[in-house]
Structure 1
Amino acid sequence: MKSLAIIGSQWGDEGKGKITDLLGLKCDVVVRYQGGNNAGHTIIVGDKKIVLHLIPSGILHDHCTSVVGHGVVFDPEAFNTELATVEKSGINVTPERLRISGNCSVITFYNKLLDGQREAKGPVKIGTTGKGIGPAYEDKISRKGIKLKDLLDYDLLLEKLKSNLIEKESLFKNLYNCDYPSAEEEAKRLFELGKSVAPFVCDTFSYLDQCRQENKKILFEGAQGVLLDIDYGSYPFVTSSNTSVGGVFTGAGLPGGMIEEVLGITKAYTTRVGEGPFPTELFNDVGEFIQTKGGEFGATTGRKRRCGWLDIPLLKYAVKSSNLTSIALTKLDVLSGMDELKVCTGYKYEGRELDCSYPGIDLSKVEPVYKDMKPFADDFKGEQSPELKEYISFIEEEIGIPVGIIAYGPERSEITFLKDYFNN
């Protein structure tokens, strides 16, 4: 196997960082292809805790090249801060080890300001991170966006920013009544930031094409999860990019090739950050217990994650919509030792029963159907208990693909591979 994509199969926060980190040991290239610094991948290495937002997890391995594809919206200021933090941790970051597409769309100060004003003063709260992700994608789609390569030409950058500001200026002045920098001020800020990013900017599409021709092992690292996909997710409470496997082809490209394995990272229960419907959400002591034991707080925002039982209809949907070939089941340790254990196996919805979700379903109107499972009390130091085996087997039978990895803690040593990725 030469190519593998890691996809979040739920609403994000499934533990993709540590899985990507371990699989990075086996591959040559790690690629980010969508989203921006609204994602947070937490990786524990010994006594070090490293949180990556923009830089791919492959940067932790000397033999690996990390690539930021053109589908990513790029905040150069956030990148500089993250780069300094990573280098302070003793990681050597060079233009040979980190390559960033010059065609990435840039997150401007205007994007972040607009994002914050909408969330604070708008009629509907989406629960965004406030990082300017959505407005940056809006600029991209409306063909008014700033590209990373534009930061290397001051006159071109200023011209584009003046055009970009025309509509936003009206919003800032007349709707939100807030201060904002002039186009000249923003151009100077971005141009200076562009100088530090410039050594890493390159044509990543051609680089990946070359890697494929040389039979290099490529790992595509997704951010967020399928249920936050702009097309496949629980709209409008979604992110602004394609978090499903389709985002690989639009946001990075694999010229002339295919993705041979799609690994869905799946928490053993379900969590969600921000607003939006959540069928299996627990509002009792059980939900609070899972939240506390699981340390369910966002790596990017610090917000509490809402917690609930594993939702099979949504997981089946993720399998089908992203062509998942196996899953990694994470945070099993959080469920160990509980007095009760349930799994949602279906929905009652508009007079019928469903065993799989689909685009556009109103999740706020479904009634979850639960199956009681035998609780397990494993310490994960020896053979799996019959109850844990039953829990894992039941999930495999329901979704129709195998569990290839189990994770029961944040350390690299607390992950077991049941499938040999990149070596089969």
Structure 2
Amino acid sequence: MVSTIVVGGFFGDEGKGKIVAHIAYTEHPSIIARGGVGPNAGHTVYKDGVKYGVRMVPSGFVYDKARLLIGAGVLVDPVVLDREVKLLGCGGRIGVDYRCSIIEEKHIAEDKGTERLAKKIGTTGTGCGPANKERVMRSAKQAADVESLKKYLTDVSQECNDALDRGENLIIEGSQGFGISLYYGTYPFVTSKDTSASSLAADVGVGPTKIDEVVVVFKAFPTRVGEGPFETEMTPEEAQKRGIAEFGTVTGRARRIGYWDPKMARYSAMINGATQAAITGLDRIDPAVKGVQEYDKLTENVKEFVKQAEKDAGVPFTLLSTGPDQKDIVDLRNHKK
């Protein structure tokens, strides 16, 4: 039995979906449970060569044998969930905790109409902040109160713990980056709750003593969508020169690009309690490594980059992504243990 949390180490968009999928294909979990805030973060994943952007369904949906659960700590937008379930055809595998709070139209309207948040902070306008505010005030609607969700309702914490008791594998996936944690991020330019591994475990109701691995996902060139401090940000001209242009899955906004941040990597690994790390975008360090699946075939400058990143973060880098395809990865987990 192995329970693994996959969490973003920078400001989001680190490629967590790909890492979740890879771990799922190799560890064969019976459950992939999602923690995090809600539909304000999107994950881009590939299945059978088709690109999907998901906001509610766990990105581990690509692994067909896993039950897909949404933990009690997650905000649910029933409209978004329904759309994704139909698109992905995964309704038979979905479970929504009956205690999830619901994003309603009024929350979205408030989010988009909030001058301070929409313009100053750069909120995604998906209603998460107002919905969490109502949750804190103990006046929120819960999943158990929504007719369209009744077919999915379950006790996610019970399912997860029962699976662990049976000796099955569990993956808990996060949906935001460490840098926008309400507690540890660049306040006030943050999301509406904590996004660290500890909170992800709480979101799905699995106690800390039952977590075996915490995989923090970093990006060789960190990115950030929206406003807020970004200490290693490069100029748009430099990003263009390097051929890096990215856009947010949810908002479509251009992502700000930065250089590797050793200080943030170490702090993130510390607070998340990382046991290992994954890094994506190594093909942007050196295009010659694109698609490489064996460590020995990596170029020397990429190997040096990874070695330095390991020293910076203080944890072994066991999953090295060399391109966007699911197969573009060097898996060193057996070598590093």
| CA–CA separation in structure 2 for the residues paired with 1:324 and 1:122 | 31
- Once the two structures are superposed, the pairs formed by residues 75-94 of structure 1 within 5 Å of their partners are 75-87=77-89, 92-94=90-92
Q: CA deviation at 1:255?
A: 4.7
State which drifts further: 396-405 or 245-254: 245-254
| CA–CA separation in structure 2 for the residues paired with 1:74 and 1:268 | 31
2:99 alignment partner, SS class: coil
Larger radius of gyration: 1
1:73 alignment partner, SS class: coil
Q: Which amino acid aligns with 1:200?
A: Y
Q: CA deviation at 1:241?
A: 2.0
Q: Deviations over 1:69-107 (max 9, x none)?
A: 0000000011111111112xxxx431xx21110100000
Alignment match, 1:137: 132
| CA–CA separation in structure 1 for the residues paired with 2:41 and 2:236 | 28
**Unmatched 5+ stretches in structure 2:** none
Q: Which amino acid aligns with 2:56?
A: L
Q: Deviations over 1:189-217 (max 9, x none)?
A: xxxxx33x211111112112211211110
Q: Which amino acid aligns with 2:21?
A: D
Q: CA deviation at 1:256?
A: 7.9
What is the alpha-carbon root mean square deviation over aligned residues?
Answer: 2.0
Does residue 1:276 correspond to 2:228, yes or no? Answer: yes
Q: Deviations over 1:95-138 (max 9, x none)?
A: xx21110100000111101000004x769611111000011110
| CA–CA separation in structure 2 for the residues paired with 1:20 and 1:294 | 24
Q: CA deviation at 1:412?
A: 1.0
Q: Which amino acid aligns with 1:93?
A: G
Does residue 1:116 correspond to 2:112, yes or no? Answer: yes
Alignment match, 1:12: 12
**Unmatched 5+ stretches in structure 1:** 152-193, 338-376
1:74 alignment partner, SS class: coil
State which drifts further: 249-258 or 70-79: 249-258
- Cα 1:261–1:288 change in 2 (3 A) is same
Alignment match, 2:187: 235
Alignment match, 2:303: 389
Alignment match, 1:363: none
- Once the two structures are superposed, the pairs formed by residues 15-54 of structure 1 within 5 Å of their partners are 15-25=15-25, 26=27, 27-54=29-56
Q: Deviations over 1:399-423 (max 9, x none)?
A: 21111100011111111111149xx
1:199 aligned to 121, 136, 151, which one?
151
Give % identity. Answer: 31
Q: CA deviation at 1:257?
A: 4.2
Q: Deviations over 1:380-412 (max 9, x none)?
A: 546122222111111112221111100011111
Q: Which amino acid aligns with 1:286?
A: E
Alignment match, 2:68: 66
Alignment match, 1:209: 161
- Cα 1:123–1:393 change in 2 (3 A) is closer
| CA–CA separation in structure 2 for the residues paired with 1:379 and 1:410 | 9
Alignment match, 2:203: 251
Query: Any conservation in 2 of the 1:24–1:57 contact (CA below 8 Å)?
Result: no
| CA–CA separation in structure 2 for the residues paired with 1:259 and 1:250 | 11
State which drifts further: 137-146 or 381-390: 381-390
| CA–CA separation in structure 2 for the residues paired with 1:378 and 1:23 | 21
Q: Which amino acid aligns with 2:226?
A: G
Q: Which amino acid aligns with 2:88?
A: V
Does residue 1:413 correspond to 2:324, yes or no? Answer: no
Query: Any conservation in 1 of the 2:18–2:45 contact (CA below 8 Å)?
Result: yes
- Cα 1:286–1:144 change in 2 (3 A) is same
Normalising by structure 1, we get a TM-score of 0.74
Q: Deviations over 1:142-179 (max 9, x none)?
A: 1111111122xxxxxxxxxxxxxxxxxxxxxxxxxxxx
Q: Which amino acid aligns with 1:419?
A: R
| CA–CA separation in structure 2 for the residues paired with 1:202 and 1:284 | 46
1:279 alignment partner, SS class: coil
| CA–CA separation in structure 2 for the residues paired with 1:108 and 1:414 | 39
Query: Any conservation in 1 of the 2:118–2:125 contact (CA below 8 Å)?
Result: no
| CA–CA separation in structure 1 for the residues paired with 2:24 and 2:275 | 19
Q: CA deviation at 1:273?
A: 0.5
Query: Any conservation in 2 of the 1:57–1:66 contact (CA below 8 Å)?
Result: no
2:176 alignment partner, SS class: coil
Does residue 1:101 correspond to 2:97, yes or no? Answer: yes
| CA–CA separation in structure 2 for the residues paired with 1:275 and 1:301 | 13
Alignment match, 2:279: 329
How many residue pairs end up in the alignment? 332
State which drifts further: 396-405 or 54-63: 54-63
Normalising by structure 2, we get a TM-score of 0.93
- Cα 1:402–1:124 change in 2 (3 A) is same
